[in-house]
């Protein structure tokens, strides 16, 4: 039987990609991490990682062991959750949503946890496609997306709404924007940029913007950390589109101009769960807390 501690160390190593970070996360020494990996490889009879100086890559055998360990972890968590699934104020709930929503919702979920310490929210910021995949696979309990999915493996319900804003450097503020102007300014891309661009241009009520091919917009940068996306915009390096809540949380908002389109663009949000999944009472507690904040 494989030692659960070795498996946990191995999974953490693959997830962090770094021996030192693994040691810090598990409150171990780095030699202790290496020893766990060595023992696990000996029991499995195959190398699980290939070491290259200070870095490593996972082997095919390692991928198999990683998937097995994650499955065990998921099964164990499901078992633990099932023990208190009817308690509305106890248990874990994993949630996946956009980065801007995570910034908006997390403080309120923490407040809820202060009130009910046994009710624990696990919140992940992720792009649209990963949210769908994780709900379908069962890796997350609840997902929040802007497009209602048609996948038969998912149940969805309208959950709230949030304005989308085209944000550009203050000195680039303009009464009207067209394809030429946006190409000159350039786009700051992020994981949800294409989704937001398509939605905004199609609903803003301006033919000039609706006709833009978003793939032809030159990139002036890319960042996947929400708190940093507006920084290059504030410094004059490009424009981007994000929910309004992202601007409200940005410390240099006075350096950002928000374009005023003919029609305000409102993003409708949908709450996702895996179809046919039993919904514990604690899900409803978390859902109501998020719904109140969004509305």
Gap between the Cα atoms of 157 and 270, Å rounded = 5
pLDDT in tens, 140-158: 999 999 888 889 999 999 9
- Taking the whole predicted model, whether its pTM rises above 0.75 is answered as no
Inter-residue contact 243 to 192 (CB < 8 Å): no
Structural domain that includes position 176: 163-266
Gap between the Cα atoms of 124 and 143, Å rounded = 10
Judged on CB neighbours under 10 Å (0-12, 13-18, 19+), 139 is: middle
Q: Are residues 18 and 143 in the same domain?
A: no
Q: Are residues 12 and 76 in the same domain?
A: yes
CATH code for position 117: 3.40.190.10
Tell me the pLDDT of the chain (295 aa) as tens digits. Answer: 789 999 999 999 999 999 999 999 999 999 999 999 999 999 999 999 998 887 899 999 999 999 999 999 888 888 877 765 578 998 899 999 988 888 889 999 999 999 999 999 999 988 888 999 999 999 999 999 988 888 999 999 998 888 999 999 998 887 678 889 999 999 999 988 888 999 999 999 999 899 999 988 999 999 988 789 999 999 999 999 998 888 888 889 899 999 999 999 998 899 999 998 888 899 999 999 999 888 7
Q: Are residues 182 and 103 in the same domain?
A: no
Inter-residue contact 249 to 106 (CB < 8 Å): no
Q: Are residues 157 and 280 in the same domain?
A: yes
Gap between the Cα atoms of 176 and 243, Å rounded = 20
Gap between the Cα atoms of 39 and 36, Å rounded = 5
Inter-residue contact 19 to 33 (CB < 8 Å): yes
Q: Are residues 171 and 261 in the same domain?
A: yes
Report DSSP letters for 161-183, one per residue: EEEEEEEEEGGG--S---HHHHH
Q: Structure tokens of 45?
A: 């009879």
**Chain mean position to CA 62:** 26
Q: Are residues 148 and 215 in the same domain?
A: no
Q: Are residues 244 and 278 in the same domain?
A: no
Q: Which of 29, 49, 84 is the last residue of a domain?
A: 84
Q: Which of 84, 105, 128 is the last residue of a domain?
A: 84
According to DSSP, residue 118 is labeled T
Q: Which of 84, 105, 132 is the last residue of a domain?
A: 84
Q: How many domains does the chain have?
A: 3
Give the DSSP H or E segment for 285.
helix 281-294
Rounded to 10 degrees, the C-alpha dihedral 61/67/71/72 comes to 40
**Among candidates 106, 109, 108, 11, which has minimal Cα distance to 63?**
11
Q: Are residues 153 and 223 in the same domain?
A: no
pLDDT in tens, 218-261: 999 999 887 899 999 999 999 999 988 888 888 898 999 999 99
Gap between the Cα atoms of 272 and 159, Å rounded = 9
Q: Are residues 36 and 173 in the same domain?
A: no
In the chain, count of helices (H) and strands (E)?
Answer: 12, 11
SS (H, E, C) 185-227: HCEEECCCHHHHHHHHHHHCCCHHHHCCCHHHCCEEEECCCHH
Q: Are residues 153 and 119 in the same domain?
A: yes
Q: Are residues 79 and 216 in the same domain?
A: no
Q: Are residues 135 and 59 in the same domain?
A: no
């Amino acid at each position: 039987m494989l030692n659960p501690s070795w498996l946990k160390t191995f999974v953490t190593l693959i997830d962090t990609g770094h021996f030192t970070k693994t040691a810090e996360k598990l409150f171990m020494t780095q030699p202790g991490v290496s020893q766990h990996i060595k023992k696990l490889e000996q029991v499995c009879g195959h190398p699980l990682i290939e070491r290259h100086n200070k870095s490593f890559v996972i082997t095919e055998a390692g991928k198999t062991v990683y998937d097995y360990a994650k499955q065990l972890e998921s099964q164990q968590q499901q078992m633990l959750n099932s023990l208190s699934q009817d308690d509305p104020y106890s248990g874990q709930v994993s949630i996946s949503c956009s980065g801007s929503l995570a910034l908006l919702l997390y403080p309120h979920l923490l407040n809820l946890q202060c009130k009910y310490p046994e009710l624990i929210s696990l919140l992940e910021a992720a792009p649209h496609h990963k949210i769908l995949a994780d709900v379908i696979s069962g890796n997350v309990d609840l997902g929040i997306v802007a497009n209602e999915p048609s996948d038969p493996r998912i149940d969805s319900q309208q959950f709230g709404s949030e304005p989308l804003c085209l944000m550009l450097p203050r000195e680039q503020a303009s009464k009207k924007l067209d394809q030429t102007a946006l190409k000159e300014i350039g786009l700051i891309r992020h994981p949800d940029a294409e989704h937001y661009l398509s939605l905004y241009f199609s609903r803003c009520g301006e033919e000039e913007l609706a006709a833009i091919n978003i793939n032809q917009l030159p990139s002036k940068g890319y960042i996947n950390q929400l708190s940093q996306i507006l920084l290059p915009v504030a410094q004059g390096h490009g424009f981007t589109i994000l929910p309004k809540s992202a601007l409200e949380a940005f410390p240099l908002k006075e350096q950002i101009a928000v374009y005023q389109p003919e029609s305000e663009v409102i993003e409708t949000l949908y709450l996702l769960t895996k179809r046919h999944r039993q919904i514990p009472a604690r899900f409803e507690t978390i859902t109501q807390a998020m719904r109140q904040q969004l509305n």
